[in-house]
Each structure stands twice: as C-alpha cells, then as structure tokens.
A and B are shown apart, each in its own frame.
Chain A
C-alpha cells in the first residue's frame, strides 16, 4: 500500500490512508527523503490520522524521516495522532522526542509557516549583523 505524497508550495504532505506494513513504512521514508531533495521542500507533513496503532517500528521510521529531512534542510511535523494511539505510545515508551507534532493538517501547515518564517528572520538578522 503506497502512501500518496502531495506537493503543496514548499511543503510535502504524506497522507497515510490505511494500516501500513514495515515495508510500506520504509518505502515511505525513502520516497519522502528522495522528494525533499528533488523538490527542495522546506517542510514535510506526515498525516497519521488513519493509523489506529503505532508501534516501535512506525515510531522509529517517523523519527528517522524527521531526522533525515532535517539533515536535508527540511522541517518535519507529524499530525493527526489519535488520543488512544498517543496514550498507547507513551505507555510503550515511544515519545517521538525531538520530532514536532500538531493536532491536524491545518495546524501542521501553520506550524511549518511559523518555522520557515522564523528561519528566514533569523537568517536576515544574521545578515543584518554581518
């Protein structure tokens, strides 16, 4: 089951539609990282609203996506984690430390807008000083 990846402006949006196997997840990671470079994306949103469970492999893959994307200059936000899923995750000890999260797609987009805006401001401040 391939996850569709949408390009919207400077962002990539991967919207998971159904339960994913480990292979599906790995494939999503590769596709996203490849496209971050190809489209020079500034932000990545992974929408997991449809996932009714997240285990250690899924969480590790999401974390890897965020870290790899950051290395390639792109900010990642995970959106749509369900309340029950979140509770099960923390009981498992999976907290997605260091990865940004937002309530839903709308919030995720707003978050990325703020982040990229901040980055631009910080950049220009540095230029001003220099």
Chain B
C-alpha cells in the first residue's frame, strides 16, 4: 500500500471512499479497530465539510513517524470561501449550514493534533493527526 493517498472530494460518494481508505491505511499502520473507527469518523466529518462549504477539494492520507511514535496524518484542502471565524467554527453547536455543528469540533475531539488554517476567499486546510497508542 502506498504511504500517501490523495482522494478528490466532489460528491458524497467520495466522502465514503475517503473514510474507507483512511480506515484501511490506519489498519495497515497497526491502529486498533477502535481507533480505526475514530479515524474514519473524523475523516467523514472534514470531507463532508469540504462538500458542504467548498463543493470540491481533496483529502490526503499519509503515515508519519516521530521517534518511535507512529501516526496517521489527514489533510483536507479546499479552495472554497474559507472560514471567517475559525475559533467559533471550532465551538460545539456552531454551524452556518444548518448541520449539527459537530463537524470540526467533533473531529478535533477524535484526533490528537488538529489544526485549521483558513482565510476568507482563500480556502481552508484542516490538518489532523492521530498517534498510535503503545500496547494498543
């Protein structure tokens, strides 16, 4: 399996593909089945955000190592309208789309590292990491 995967997001079936690839890669990297599920759910949320706010974009999946820690990195990138207030977008229940408002904050809770960079009119990039737990 390649260590970096790029999944274009332009339709709802791509959201399913992205999270399935993410789960496969996480399994390949030795994540527990609980963590595989968590990773798939987080990918689903941010991939859907691309679809909802930017219509199209991409998700890349790759593996990283830091010392003896192994992890998975997920980057979701779009050229959409961007987020005006990143702080607020990360608050629970805040939504401009009529959704549950759990997309970004939910994904952040599921992952170990979470970073959003966005500017109005400049698109949005979400980078998130999950580290494999020792002994798990």
Q: Is B13 an interface residue (CB 8 A)?
A: yes
Q: Is A107 an interface residue (CB 8 A)?
A: no
Determine whether the beta carbon of A92 is less than 8 Å from that of B99.
Answer: no
Stretch at the interface among B1-9, B35-43, B58-66, B68-76: B35-43
Chain A positions within 8 Å of B48 at CB level: 22, 55-57
Q: Is A125 an interface residue (CB 8 A)?
A: no
Determine whether the beta carbon of B12 is less than 8 Å from that of A91.
Answer: no
Chain A positions within 8 Å of B13 at CB level: 21
Q: Is B15 an interface residue (CB 8 A)?
A: yes
Chain A positions within 8 Å of B103 at CB level: 56
* Chain B nearest Cβ from A50, distance in angstroms: 13
Stretch at the interface among B16-24, B80-88, B121-129: B16-24
Q: Which of A60, A82, A93 contacts B99 (CB 8 A)?
A: A60
**Docked pose: A74 CA to B123 CA in angstroms:** 44
Determine whether the beta carbon of A92 is less than 8 Å from that of B40.
Answer: no
Query: A91 and B109 in contact (CB under 8 A), knowing A53-B44, A56-B102, A85-B37?
Result: yes
Query: A53 and B19 in contact (CB under 8 A), knowing A84-B37, A88-B37?
Result: yes
Question: Is chain B's binding surface mostly helix, strand, loop or mixed?
Answer: helix
**Docked pose: A22 CA to B103 CA in angstroms:** 14
Q: Is A102 an interface residue (CB 8 A)?
A: no
Determine whether the beta carbon of B41 is less than 8 Å from that of A53.
Answer: yes
* Chain B nearest Cβ from A83, distance in angstroms: 8
Chain B positions within 8 Å of A20 at CB level: 16
Chain B positions within 8 Å of A89 at CB level: 41
Residue of A nearest to B105 (CB): A93
| Interface bits A73-102 vs B (CB < 8 Å: 1, else 0) | 000000000101101110111100000000
Q: Which of A53, A87, A92, A94 contacts B23 (CB 8 A)?
A: A53
Could you list 27 examples of A-B contacts with CB < 8 Å?
A19-B16, A21-B15, A23-B12, A53-B19, A53-B37, A53-B41, A53-B44, A55-B19, A55-B41, A55-B45, A56-B99, A56-B102, A56-B103, A57-B44, A84-B33, A84-B34, A87-B37, A88-B34, A88-B37, A88-B38, A91-B110, A92-B45, A92-B102, A92-B109, A92-B110, A93-B102, A93-B106
